[in-house]
């Protein structure tokens, strides 16, 4: 196993809850090196990070390692098909349609009789 692949596995295993399920593949082609990381379905989000910032940071570190060896190193996260990723429109089904949400009617509507006028009158602006 090459250094860049070991490096990626080390970082990803430190991020996820199930490090024993992390594995990676390294492929070399005319564009450079591609390292694909496979994780458990629940751990994919930890590797991607909020707004993809963790994945971008890993890619930045790999670019530095690749520059030292004078090659291009890319990083890819293989999301399992059973992952809990949301669909295109924020739905849980992945179909692009959002299920209607039932809105409960308010239990008690405020009326003028319910207002505490003393607390409002004591306000100063």
24, pLDDT greater than 80: yes
Q: What is the pLDDT of residues 51-79, one digit of tens each?
A: 999 999 999 999 999 999 899 999 999 98
Neighbours of 76 (CB within 10 A): 15
pTM beyond 0.75 = no
* Res. 93 pLDDT band, cuts 50 70 90: very low
Neighbours of 102 (CB within 10 A): 5
What CATH architecture applies to the domain 3-78? 2-Layer Sandwich (3.30)
Q: Rounded CA gap, 125 and 71, in Å?
A: 65
**Residue 35's closest CA among 83, 67, 3?**
3
**Domain range annotation of the chain:** 3-78
């Amino acid at each position: 196993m090459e250094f860049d692949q070991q490096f990626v596995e080390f970082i990803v295993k430190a991020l996820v809850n199930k490090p024993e399920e992390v594995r990676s593949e390294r492929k070399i082609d005319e564009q450079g090196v591609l390292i694909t990381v496979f994780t458990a379905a629940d751990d994919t989000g930890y590797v991607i990070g909020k707004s993809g910032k963790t994945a971008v940071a890993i890619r930045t570190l790999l670019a530095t390692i690749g520059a030292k060896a004078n090659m291009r190193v890319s990083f890819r996260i293989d999301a399992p098909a059973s992952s809990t990723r949301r669909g295109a429109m924020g739905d849980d089904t992945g179909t692009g349609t959002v299920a209607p949400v039932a809105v409960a009617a308010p239990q008690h509507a405020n009326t003028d009789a319910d207002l505490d006028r003393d607390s409002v009158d004591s306000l100063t602006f």
